Amino acid sequence: MRRIVSSVAIFLVLASSVAQAATPEDAIKYRKAVMETMAGHMVAITMIFGGRIDAPSHLSGHAEALAAAGTEITHMFPAGSDAGKTDALPLIWQEGARFQEIAETMATATAQLRDAVNADDRAAIGRAIKATGDSCKGCHDRYRQQGAAH
């Protein structure tokens, strides 16, 4: 019983620590990590789709993960995460609505990519890869420091 009580206590401590708002450092670290995973999935999808890697069954896993990350973007730029080791430009927080709109364009493109992969529709997959790539670039061109590493 005591053991159960103490593990519940530990759980509550962990749960309360994750429920707190992230520090700016962690918010920045997190969004960079998610951005990196998206870049990885895009490379993997493009290589499989282009036939350079013979693993068609892996396509849907990459597309699902990319679509999931696409829905996260609007939550990845909390107020206060504009300062520190970041290439995110202040414009993001100055024109929030336009930024959200671009983020949603990407969520739509990645959802279409996932659906096209699940439907095994090559033409639609090709279109959605292009739309997704354009949405990454559209946002980076306006809201990310030029000359950033990627």
Distance set, CA 1 to CA 39, 91, 132 (Å): 47, 54, 52
Closest contact distance (angstroms) between CB of 88 and ligand HEC is: 4
Nearer to ligand HEC, 20 or 146 (CB): 146
Nearer to ligand HEC, 112 or 135 (CB): 135
Q: Give me the residues that bind ligand HEC (CB under 6 A), please.
A: 28, 31-32, 35-36, 38-39, 42, 73, 86-88, 102-103, 106, 132, 135-136, 139-140, 143-144, 150
Closest contact distance (angstroms) between CB of 137 and ligand HEC is: 8
Q: How many Cα atoms within 13 Å fall on the side-chain side of residue 112?
A: 19
Closest contact distance (angstroms) between CB of 1 and ligand HEC is: 47
Q: CB of 48 within 8 A of CB of 58? A: yes
Nearer to ligand HEC, 6 or 40 (CB): 40
- CA–CA separation, 70 and 39 (whole Å): 12
Nearer to ligand HEC, 86 or 112 (CB): 86
Q: CB of 138 within 8 A of CB of 102? A: yes
Nearer to ligand HEC, 122 or 137 (CB): 137
Write the CB contacts of 66 (distance below 8 Å, at least 6 apart in sequence).
38, 41, 42, 45, 110, 113, 114, 132
Closest contact distance (angstroms) between CB of 20 and ligand HEC is: 20
Q: CB of 78 within 8 A of CB of 27? A: yes
Closest contact distance (angstroms) between CB of 38 and ligand HEC is: 4
